[in-house]
């Protein structure tokens, strides 16, 4: 059987209390009190849902009693039942006691019951809302604790990863340093053997010595790139920018790579239409261009072309992505090109992409990563534009050398 709603009616007139009970006992579980003290005792012992109080009580006004009852029974809906009709008193009663409804005596039973039922609905909705809020607060608190614990665990794991990465880098640096000296010695000995080898070695032995030199060269390249990668991660690469033209290092690359390119019947073209100097670290830029030209030759099929083009971005039509007041170097090849999904991996460390060297050359997967870090350290940009099957164009954009200050003669 469903429990009846619990109602408290406070009135100093016994006849009013009796009349109220007689009219509504079938619908509500009714408690009555003739004094404020009796009412407070009932509130202490029972979960009252609706409180009705006469306004003119001997001990204090009904609105005052209802206001004080908020501390002990905050969820109950409060209603004033009174015979006086002064609007100011009614407003004061509603404001002071947070009264839900103002009922005039004598009441109509149907109207009063409707008012009580409406108050009970209001109580139910408010109770459901409060319960829901409490449940949500508990869940939010639990979730906050879970997230805090997860964040603490993640922070610990991140710290462990950072420590492991630091240890890994330290090991790589130590190993690379330890390998560098013996590799340099082996390189020197093989160069010496090749210099005198034709006189004292057979042709087969001479060829083996050349293969040893190539293998050592590849190992030295990997060691140096690992060292550079570590230094870049640690922020220990020094950038020393100067004012210079692309021509000096570009012409050196054309001369240096022409013999390698000729081995694959590749032609290297160079053109510089820029009228500006650049402001960059010449040695680091040389390292970057070395990687780009090497890759262009490495991944180009036999009989193709490689272009090195230098232009001012304000007049260049090579790309739509340029910044103004800069100089751009474009290294373009006729290789296999790259698919869009591989473009995203291009400048990552140790990334392996589908294009393969066309002459059996070696690739460490570090060159473009280092190139990007170096160019960014020089406040420049490096990127690639490619269509699969149509080759790649790598762009290096650097700031124009600032004009020297002109000082007026005294």
pLDDT in tens, the chain (410 residues): 468 999 999 999 999 999 999 999 999 999 999 999 999 999 999 999 999 999 888 888 888 898 888 888 888 999 988 775 555 665 665 655 567 878 888 889 999 999 999 999 999 998 888 888 889 999 999 999 989 999 999 999 998 888 887 777 677 667 666 777 777 788 787 877 777 766 677 777 777 777 787 777 777 777 777 777 777 777 777 888 888 888 878 777 777 777 778 888 998 888 888 888 888 888 889 889 888 988 888 888 889 999 989 998 888 877 777 888 889 999 999 988 888 888 888 888 777 777 777 766 666 678 888 889 899 989 999 999 998 888 999 999 998 876 554 444 44
Q: CA angle, 220 as apex, 219 and 226 as ends, to 5°?
A: 90
Radius of gyration in angstroms for the set of CA atoms belonging to the chain, rounded to a whole number: 44
Judge contact between 329 and 307, C-beta under 8 A.
no
Please report the pLDDT score of residue 331 as a whole number: 92
Q: In whole angstroms, what is the distance from residue 49 CA to residue 43 CA?
A: 10
Q: In whole angstroms, what is the distance from residue 88 CA to residue 102 CA?
A: 12
Q: In whole angstroms, what is the distance from residue 86 CA to residue 93 CA?
A: 11
Judge contact between 229 and 370, C-beta under 8 A.
yes
Helix (H, G, I), strand (E, B) or coil at 35: coil
Judge contact between 103 and 155, C-beta under 8 A.
no
Helix (H, G, I), strand (E, B) or coil at 244: strand
Please report the pLDDT score of residue 407 as a whole number: 47
Q: How many helices (H) and strands (E) in the chain? A: 10, 12
> Any idea of the CA torsion for 322, 370, 333, 399, to the nearest 10 degrees?
30
Burial class (CB in 10 A: 0-12, 13-18, 19+), 118: middle
Q: In whole angstroms, what is the distance from residue 237 CA to residue 228 CA?
A: 8
- For the whole prediction, is pTM greater than 0.75? no
Q: In whole angstroms, what is the distance from residue 34 CA to residue 9 CA?
A: 9
Judge contact between 370 and 359, C-beta under 8 A.
no
Q: In whole angstroms, what is the distance from residue 370 CA to residue 287 CA?
A: 9
Q: In whole angstroms, what is the distance from residue 119 CA to residue 50 CA?
A: 7
Judge contact between 235 and 378, C-beta under 8 A.
no
User: Comparing C-alpha atoms, which of 231, 238, 214, 221 is closest to residue 295?
Assistant: 221
Please report the pLDDT score of residue 102 as a whole number: 80
Bridge partner list, 33: 10
């Amino acid at each position: 059987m469903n429990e009846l709603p619990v109602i408290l009616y406070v009135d100093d007139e016994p006849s009013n209390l009796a009349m109220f009970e007689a009219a509504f006992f079938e619908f509500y579980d009714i408690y009555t009190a003739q004094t404020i003290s009796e009412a407070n005792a009932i509130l202490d012992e029972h979960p009252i849902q609706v409180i009705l109080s006469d306004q003119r009580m001997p001990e204090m006004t009904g609105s005052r009693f209802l206001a004080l009852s908020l501390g002990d029974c905050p969820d109950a809906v409060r209603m004033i039942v009174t015979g006086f009709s002064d609007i100011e008193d009614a407003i004061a009663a509603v404001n002071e006691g947070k009264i839900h409804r103002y009922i005039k005596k004598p009441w109509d039973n149907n109207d009063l019951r409707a008012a009580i039922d409406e108050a009970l609905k209001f109580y139910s909705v408010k109770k459901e809302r409060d319960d829901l809020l409490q449940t949500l607060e508990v869940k939010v608190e639990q979730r906050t604790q879970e997230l805090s614990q997860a964040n603490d665990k993640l922070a610990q794991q991140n710290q462990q990863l950072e420590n492991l990465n630091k240890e890994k880098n330290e090991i790589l640096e130590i190993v690379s340093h330890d390998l560098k000296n013996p590799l340099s010695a082996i390189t020197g000995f093989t160069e010496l053997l090749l210099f005198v080898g034709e006189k004292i070695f057979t042709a087969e032995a001479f060829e083996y010595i050349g293969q040893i030199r190539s293998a050592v060269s590849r190992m030295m390249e990997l060691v140096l790139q690992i060292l550079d990668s570590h230094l870049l991660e640690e922020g220990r690469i020094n950038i020393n920018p100067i004012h210079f033209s692309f021509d000096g290092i570009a012409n050196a690359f054309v001369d240096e790579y022409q013999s390698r390119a000729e081995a694959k019947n590749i032609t290297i073209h160079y053109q510089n239409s820029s009228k500006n100097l650049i402001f960059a670290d010449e040695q680091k830029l040389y390292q970057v261009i070395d990687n780009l030209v090497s890759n262009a030759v490495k991944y180009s099929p036999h009989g193709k072309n490689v272009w090195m083009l230098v232009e001012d971005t304000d007049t260049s039509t090579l790309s739509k992505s340029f910044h103004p007041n800069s100089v751009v170097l474009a290294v373009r090849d006729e290789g296999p090109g790259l698919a869009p999904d591989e473009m995203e991996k291009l400048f990552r460390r140790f990334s392996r992409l589908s294009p393969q060297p066309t002459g059996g050359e070696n690739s460490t997967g570090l060159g473009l990563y280092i190139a990007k870090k170096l160019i960014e350290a020089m406040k420049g940009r490096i990127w690639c534009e490619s269509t699969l099957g149509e080759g790649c164009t790598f762009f290096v954009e650097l700031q124009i050398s600032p004009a020297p200050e002109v000082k007026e003669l005294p």
